[in-house]
């Protein structure tokens, strides 16, 4: 079901690399970019001798530390030395050299080899983002982000105008903040990002839901669900670790089944020859939420569907399909083999108008009883295609019609 679509999405800083036209492997890039963006070192260098006479001012060293042309750094914002100097100057102006010193950012620390953890100081983070917004090529950053997101959400490419407006209205700044602080792969950040994305450009959400639930189902869900709930529905299990039974039940409860009965019908009807009446009956027999939970865990639910299918064809009730029991003789097939034959035979017989006077279970039981004496079970199920199976059953079908 899931367009999982969402489990690979956000190592956003790598999207720009894919856009650059090189030979970057996007799938490997996504898995290798936990450290999305690093800024100059911010821990003080203790007990380390540094020849400060060889260092420039804090602003100069800050600018030199930025990797010019590196599209992984701040979504490719630093495209020239001029841009680096502009960003450094803006950070100095907005944050202040004294504040930077308090945070451990000095010419010496920037040029040291000491590893550091990025500070969560709001003034520094906002200062960096504000500097990028003022100095960088924002149109280029937008293009990189839209291209990268479209690799995992193709629907974005048809909503470029809306995406540009959304990025300009604040989404770009949120993405850059996420890169700077390294939180773009957390579930909380993903949920907030997609909520902003879908709320700002709802046609993207409509397209995604239409692929999963059909156009009418998608339209109904958008009318009857909040953006937050739809984001939760689509983005849960983004790490593909699997869902618990409680999570499956919760996701099923978010969908407005009563208000949107077409959701599952549009998905399942093609499996039942587009017979919408039969499909509706099967959904009612099994239950919408149970079906959706089967879909979430990738369970085909063959037994449930077979039982519901036969109940709907033969009138339902506790006794539906129970008139036949597996035959137990020396030459009989296994119970599973016999039940498999009956499950495939009886629905077909029930759909043939010329056989309306015959009970499908009785007719198929008669065919099976005769055929088992002459046809090996393994040969029937493994070595025969459908034409071969029909040919094997035909003589017994004729005999049972007498």
Residue ranges of domains in the chain: 12-32+139-242, 52-136, 256-322, 324-402
Residue-level pLDDT at 5 = 25
Task: Output the CA–CA distances (angstroms, integers) from residue 144 to 105, 147, 159, 392, in the order listed.
Answer: 30, 5, 15, 61
Question: With helix as H, strand as E and coil as C, how does the chain read?
Answer: CCCCCCCCCCCHHHHHHHHCCCCCCHHHHHHCCCCCCCCCCCCCCCCCCCCHHHCCCHHHHHHHHCCCCCCCCHHHCCCCHHHHHHHHHHHHHHHCHHHHHHCCCCHHHHCCCCCCCCCCCHHHHHHHHHHHHHHCCHHHHHHHHHHHHHCCCHHHHHHHHHHHHHHHHHHHHHHHHHHHHCCCCCHHHHHHHHHHHHHHCHHHHHHHHHHHHCHHHHHHHHHHCCHHHHHHHHHCCCCCCCCCHHHHHHHHHHCCCCCCCHHHHHHHHHHHCCCHHHHHHHHHHHCHHHHHHHHHCCCCCHHHHHHHHHHHHCCCCCCCCCCCCCCCCCCCCCHHHHHHHHHHHHHHHHCCHHHCCCCHHHHHHHHHHHHHCCCCHHHHHHHCCHHHHHHHHHHHHHHHCC
26 versus 114: the higher-pLDDT residue is 114
Measured CA to CA, the distance from residue 219 to residue 230 in angstroms comes to 12
Does residue 89 surpass a pLDDT of 90?
yes
Mean pLDDT rounded to a whole number for the chain: 77
- Which of the four pLDDT bands, split at 50, 70 and 90, describes residue 22? very low
Specify the range with the lowest mean pLDDT, choosing from 40-49, 173-182, 338-347, 393-402: 40-49
Q: For residue 31, what pLDDT is reported?
A: 32
Q: Which of 257, 254, 234, 243 minimizes the C-alpha distance to 297?
A: 243
pLDDT digits (tens, 9 = 90+) for 256-278: 888 887 778 877 888 877 777 77
| Average pLDDT of the residues in 201-228 | 86
Query: Residue 310: its pLDDT value, please?
Result: 76
- At residue 156, the pLDDT reads 85
Q: For a pLDDT cut of 70, what percent of the chain falls above it?
A: 80
Taking CA 10 as the corner, what is the angle to CA 74 and CA 185, rounded to the nearest 5 degrees?
95
Tens-digit pLDDT profile for residues 325-342: 888 888 889 988 888 888
Which segment, 95-99, 187-191, 296-300, is predicted with the most confidence on average? 95-99
- CA 91 to CA 104: how far, in whole Å? 15
Assign 402 a pLDDT band (cuts: 50, 70, 90). Answer: low
Would you state the pLDDT for residue 306?
82
Higher pLDDT, 371 or 347: 371
Confidence band (pLDDT; 50, 70, 90) for 315?
low
Which is higher by pLDDT, 329 or 353? 329
How much is the pLDDT for 167? 92
- The closest alpha carbon to 137, from 176, 96, 180, 80, belongs to 80
pLDDT in tens, 35-85: 344 444 444 444 444 444 578 888 888 888 888 888 778 878 888 999 999
């Amino acid at each position: 079901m899931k367009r999982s679509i969402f489990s690979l999405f956000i190592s956003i800083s790598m999207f720009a690399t894919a856009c650059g036209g090189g030979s970057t492997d996007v799938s490997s890039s996504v898995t290798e970019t936990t450290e999305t963006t690093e800024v100059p070192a911010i821990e003080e260098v203790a007990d380390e001798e540094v020849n400060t006479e060889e260092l420039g001012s804090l602003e100069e060293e800050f600018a030199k530390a930025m990797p010019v042309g590196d599209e992984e750094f701040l979504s490719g914002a630093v495209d020239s030395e001029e841009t680096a100097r502009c960003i450094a100057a803006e950070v100095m102006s907005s944050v202040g050299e004294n504040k930077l010193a308090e945070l451990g950012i000095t010419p010496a620390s920037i040029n040291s080899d000491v590893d550091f953890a990025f500070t969560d100081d709001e003034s520094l983070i906002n200062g960096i983002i504000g500097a990028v917004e003022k100095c960088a090529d924002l149109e280029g950053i937008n293009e990189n982000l839209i291209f990268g997101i479209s690799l995992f959400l193709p629907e974005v490419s048809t909503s470029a105008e809306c995406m540009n407006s959304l990025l300009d209205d604040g989404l770009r700044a949120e993405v850059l903040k996420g890169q700077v602080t390294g939180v773009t792969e957390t579930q909380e950040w993903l949920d907030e990002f997609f909520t902003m994305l879908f709320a700002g450009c709802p046609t993207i959400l409509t397209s995604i839901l239409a692929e999963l639930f059909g156009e009418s189902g998608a339209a109904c869900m958008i009318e009857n669900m909040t953006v937050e709930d739809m984001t939760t529905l689509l983005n849960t299990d983004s790490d593909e670790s699997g869902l618990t039974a409680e999570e499956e039940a919760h996701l099923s409860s978010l969908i407005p089944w009563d208000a949107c009965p077409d959701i599952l019908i549009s998905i399942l009807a093609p499996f039942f020859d587009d017979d919408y009446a039969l499909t509706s009956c099967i959904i009612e027999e099994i239950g919408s939420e149970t079906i959706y939970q089967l879909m979430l865990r990738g369970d085909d639910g063959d037994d449930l569907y077979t039982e519901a299918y036969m109940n709907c064809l033969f009138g339902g009730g506790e006794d539906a399909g129970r008139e036949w029991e597996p035959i137990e003789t020396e030459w009989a097939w296994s119970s599973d083999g016999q039940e498999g034959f009956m499950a495939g035979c009886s629905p077909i017989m029930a759909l043939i108008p010329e056989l309306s006077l015959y009970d499908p279970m009785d007719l198929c039981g008669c065919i099976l009883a005769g055929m088992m004496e002459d046809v090996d079970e393994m040969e029937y199920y493994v070595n025969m295609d459908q034409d071969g199976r029909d040919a094997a059953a035909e003589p017994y079908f004729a005999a049972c019609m007498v």
